[in-house]
Structure 1
Amino acid sequence: MCMGTNSNREPVFRFREFSVVNNMAGMKVGTDGVLLGAWADGDGCAKALDVGTGCGLIALMLAQRYKALKVLGIDIMDNAVCEAAENFKLSPWNDRLSARCIDFNSLDYSFGKFDMVVSNPPFFTTALHSPDSARKAARHGVNLAFSDIIRRCAGTLLAEDGRLCMISPSDAGGDIEFNVALNGMCVQRRTDVFTRQGAPARRIMWQIGKKACTMKHDSLLIGSDEYKLLTSPFYL
């Protein structure tokens, strides 16, 4: 059952080929989600899982980019799932998108393996928690940790040639690299995201797979020509 709204959220975000209502999901549409949706590589993938889909932004972006890709978006918040389902229904790709209220850690094997798992997961595991329960679940690692995602993808959730794409704070880099190695996986691609020249990286985008590889390591500056080129198929 869908109920409640959040008056502090912008009601509609309009992109080039779709719109996103973001009035009930815990987290507002932001740069992290747009970056990951534009950056994640879905070439050759037929089936993707968006973990913590929220309003469905990343799933919609992937559906726009990859015309044969089917995406299942999951979230533990009923309101977010209802909002994502409505956004999917109103999009040009409603036949390839679905939303379910499922805890990632309880996702069973009936869904089969995924060619791609993508997530903009909870941050700030040690920060003060927001009193808003939806925002708390979206912002903090109380329900899902990077280690959980990596562990399950290393198991039977991800296809052998599949990839896990996610975004993290820069200070989580060491922990993520440790868990990748612990679970016998490999960082295929890493992009450090900077908000201004000369400042430390604020975010890291990761592509992780099961097979041994040589990591491609690059960087991206918000507002640069490269950033504008990456996001131009989406922003008006």
Structure 2
Amino acid sequence: MAGFSAEELSLDDFLGGRVRLLQPRQGYRAGVDPVLLAAAVPARSGMRVLELGCGGGQALLCLAARVPGLALSGLELQANYADLARRNAALNAADLSVFEGDLSALPVDLRHQQFDHVIANPPYYRAGAHSPAQDAGRQIALGGDTPLELWFDAAARRLTHKGYLHMIQRADRLPEMLGACLGRLGSVEVLPLSPRVGRGAELVLLRARKGGRANFRLHAPLVLHEGARHTDDRESYVPEIRAVLREGAALPWPK
């Protein structure tokens, strides 16, 4: 399948302009979720990072802007988004290897590699559990056919011993995520993301370690917005989240 034409794309700023990304005008467009995911990863220069389902490379390139010197790889099912990730990597002068393939049948070259960190932002809905999108790319991004368990299995197989998985997902799928860690990953931590004080978490960030033995930790929710409700059109992120989204800061993961 041919990649996106120039007319089908917009050029958008992330991290206050530190990252510039081509995105389809009518397809899947990244919000804050991949930025928060990238900010949660405690990677250091020289480490190897793999994103499962990398889309146009948003999370990986945001991570690269914060931590230089990483060896980045992405796996993407849709050829046009894999091509877009390569174009975005070139646009941001980032060294990113993009593999096309499915989680259940990884490309041979990728199966022979190990990584210090694996990150993932899987489709938030089970296939058929949401209103269908008109755009095929957005439809796959919203509701994939691949069970969450396969995402965890692929991540665990590609991680080095003591390597970390970070995943962002809807809070109501946390039981699936925890079940998928059993026998694969340990030292599980969950950071709920609450839109405002007093509101239930809509998303969670999960951190798990291959070979980890620490007790499970459920952290207090990280609140994203100031105030009890949205009152006007101005941006209302709390200072810590604003620093993540606009300045490329690391996410304040609890100790």
TM bucket by the smaller chain?
Answer: 0.7 to 0.9
In 1, Cα distance between equivalents of 2:164 and 2:248 = 23
Structure 2's unaligned 5+ residue stretches are: 225-236, 250-255
Please state how far the C-alpha of 1:53 moved relative to its aligned partner. Answer: 1.0
Q: TM-score scaled by structure 1? A: 0.87
Shift of 1:106: 1.3
Structure 2 residue matching 1:13: 3-state secondary structure: strand
> Residue 105 of structure 1: SS of its match in structure 2?
coil
Alignment correspondent of 1:103: 102
Residues 76-225 of structure 1 aligned to structure 2 (within 5 Å): 76-93=77-94, 96-108=95-107, 110-111=109-110, 112-125=113-126, 126-142=129-145, 144-154=146-156, 156-181=157-182, 183-210=183-210, 211-216=212-217, 217-222=219-224, 223-225=237-239
**Any idea what the Cα deviations from partners look like across 1:90-135, whole Å, max 9, x if unmatched?**
1132xx2122222122114533111111111111112233242211
Whether the 8 Å CA contact 2:53–2:76 is kept in 1: the answer is yes
For 1:128 and 1:14, locate their aligned partners in 2 and report how far apart those are by CA, in whole Å: 29
Q: Which runs of 4+ in 1 moved over 4 A?
A: 4-7
Residue 31 of structure 2 corresponds to residue 17 of structure 1 = no
Q: 2:227 — aligned with what? A: none
Question: Post-superposition shift, 1:188?
Answer: 3.5
**C-alpha distance in structure 2 between counterparts of 1:197 and 1:188, whole Å:** 25
1:73–1:98 CA contact under 8 A, matched in 2 = yes
For 1:124 and 1:218, locate their aligned partners in 2 and report how far apart those are by CA, in whole Å.
Answer: 25
TM-score, scaled relative to structure 2:
0.81
The answer to whether the 8 A contact 1:25-1:134 is kept is no
SS of 1:141's equivalent in the other structure is: coil
1:115 and 1:158 in contact (8 A); partners too = yes
| Correspondence list, 1:25-44, <5 A | 26-43=27-44
Give the corresponding residue for 2:70. Answer: 69
Q: Sequence identity, in percent?
A: 22
User: Structure 1 pair 83/22, CA: closer, same or farther in 2 (3 Å)?
Assistant: same
Per-residue deviation at 1:84?
A: 0.9
Q: Which residue identity does 1:226 align to in structure 2?
A: E
CA RMSD across the alignment: 2.4
Give the structure with higher Rg (CA).
2
